[in-house]
Amino acid sequence: MSQENIEVVRAAYDAVNRGDLDAAISNIAPEMEYVASGAVPGATGIYVGAEGVKRFIAALWEEFDDARADVTELIAADDKVVVSATARGRGKLSGAEARWNTWQLWTLRHGKLVRGQGFTSREGALQAAGLGASAAPDSPPSA
């Protein structure tokens, strides 16, 4: 099951990077909650369901041109997937290039994302997943 979960998560990130929100939310359970870490300007709090996730992504796209999250690591742990990614974009107001590391923990049930949480450190995401800080990736990042 862990490889299937990795593929669901990878597909969501790929869809967001293509600008395809419908594909990005296609595996989100109606009751899904995403808890933002606050790392994205203007995007804090809890986002519920597909519409909530769309609002979270829209906050990123409103602040940055060419916004994307390049996955660098995927680690499966039972029904969870830890993602390490480098987010980047060009500030719409400043024109400055921005780049920062992000970590998310996704919980899946029956192939659907039921919970997500952002973290400001890899260690925090791994600890929340019940893994040690030295956990190795299960799958290489997508190309």
Q: Which domains, ranges and CATH numbers included, belong to the chain?
A: 2-127 (3.10.450.50)
Amino acid 44: pLDDT: 79
Confidence of residue 64 (pLDDT cuts 50, 70, 90): confident
Tokens matching residue 1 = 């099951």
| Of the candidate ranges 10-14, 36-40, 110-114, 127-131, the one whose mean pLDDT is the lowest | 36-40
Amino acid 124: pLDDT: 95
Mean pLDDT over 95-112 rounds to 94
Contact 17, 69 (CB under 8 A): yes
Instruction: Give the Cα separation of 80 and 2 in Å (integer).
Output: 8
Looking at the predicted structure, is the pLDDT value of residue 137 above 70? no
User: How does pLDDT run across 81-99, given as a tens digit for each residue?
Assistant: 999 999 999 998 999 998 8
State the residue for tokens 């967001």. Answer: 16
Tokens matching residue 118 = 């952002």
| Of the candidate ranges 32-36, 40-44, 62-66, 118-122, the one whose mean pLDDT is the lowest | 40-44
Instruction: Give the Cα separation of 33 and 98 in Å (integer).
Output: 27
User: How does pLDDT run across 33-56, given as a tens digit for each residue?
Assistant: 999 987 766 677 899 999 998 888
Model's pTM, two decimal places? 0.86
Using the Cα atoms of residue 98, residue 25, residue 2 and residue 127 in order, give the sign of their dihedral.
Answer: positive
Amino acid 33: pLDDT: 96
Farthest CA pair distance, the chain: 44
Mean pLDDT over 45-72 rounds to 88
Looking at the predicted structure, is the pLDDT value of residue 1 above 60? no
